[in-house]
Amino acid sequence: MMNKLFLDTNVVMDTMEYGREHSTYSSLILGFCNVFNLCISVQTFSDIAYIVRKEYSGKRVKHKFEILMNHCTVLTMLATDFARALQSKCPDMEDAMQISCAETTNCDAIITANKKHFSAYTDIPVYTPKEFIEALQAAQ
């Protein structure tokens, strides 16, 4: 049974910016915070802060982060996670770091909009936000 879900940075971005390709499904997943242990790496927060720094005020970013902190478990990244990511064959370093964090913390699934950089580099099941919601619906 899947309980501990790792949310990739792009899924978290989807919950902040409506109109992105997966925003509806990503927001639905965030709504399951009382059903699943939704996990985000601490790296995601710094990545998002950097990405949106010119578009959003610091106050707005902090408000969004506070909401996420109330709904998700924030996972730390250790030097050993980074070292393992450096050894990964994943071509995207940020994704390799996310995978390492998810594996170290024993997540049951990874939710990402970018399956190609995840599925081939981890044994953890990987879903897009839409696939995960559809799997939940099919299980009912």
How do residues 37-88 score in pLDDT, each as one tens digit?
999 999 999 999 998 888 887 888 898 899 889 999 999 988 999 999 999 9
Instruction: Write the DSSP symbol of residue 139.
Output: H
89 CB-near residues (< 8 Å, 6+ apart): 121
Give 89's DSSP letter.
-
Tally of domains within the chain: 1
Task: Give residue 1's pLDDT band: very low, low, confident or very high (50, 70, 90).
Answer: low
The single-letter DSSP state of residue 32 is T
| Torsion, Cα of 65, 96, 122, 22 (10° steps) | 40
CA distance 85 to 111: 18
Q: Which residue range is the domain that position 80 belongs to?
A: 4-139
50 DSSP β-pair partners: none
Residues 6+ apart with CB under 8 A from 94: 9, 43, 47
CATH number at residue 11: 3.40.50.1010
Whether residue 7 has pLDDT greater than 70:
yes
- Percent of the chain scoring above 90 in pLDDT: 56
**pLDDT value at 89 more than 70:** yes
Is residue 19's pLDDT more than 80? no
